[in-house]
Amino acid sequence: MNVIETSIPGVVIIEPRVFGDSRGYFFESWSQREFDEKVRPVHFVQDNESRSSYGVLRGLHFQKGKDSQSKLVRVVSGRVLDVAVDIRVGSPTFGRSVAVELTGENHRQFFIPRGFAHGFSVLSEEAVFQYKCDAFYAPPSEAGIAWNDPSLGIAWGIPAEDIILSPKDTANPLLSDLCSRQGILFDYSEDLY
């Protein structure tokens, strides 16, 4: 696999080696050994899959404290714009984001470390999205940031009037509101692993 660094250290794009011929293609979508060597040691404990239609925006989500999660995400079919936002207070890249287009054709994966919020918008008619997490889903620890927070300036790749949100995501606060709440965000000086 080829690991592509982004503008935020630790957030990486992974391109697998795809072998194709007249029958189709083959690629290794996951190797613990290679991931540990090239990205970082992570022990994933849960795999999730979602199917969404055009305009669906899921995010920006994260789990707080001891339940924080790393995610390795990919698209099986369709196209999404996937976004990671640094929410580690004190980080030189605090509040900055990295976005990457993931498709069923490019087979790219995106690694979002602990200490980041994550979200994606569906650019195609439909998308099937898979992700690995290194901590179990913990409803009491889930939190979110408003998808349209002007301080983040995320261009989601679809017109605002086409965006479809869950009721929960319509109520997510601005990042600045979370900064004033003790213990919600992450401390850059803490080792989250």
Active site residues: 61, 131
Q: How far is CA 148 from the centre of its chain?
A: 16
Angstrom distance (rounded) from CA 33 to CA 91: 29
**Token code pair at residue 140:** 């009491």
- Answer whether the bond into residue 60 is a cis peptide, omega within 30°: yes
- In 64-164, at which residue ranges do the beta strands (DSSP E only) sit? 71-77, 79-86, 88-89, 97-103, 109-112, 116-122, 126-133, 142-144
Of the CA atoms within 13 Å of residue 59, those in its CB half-sphere come to 22
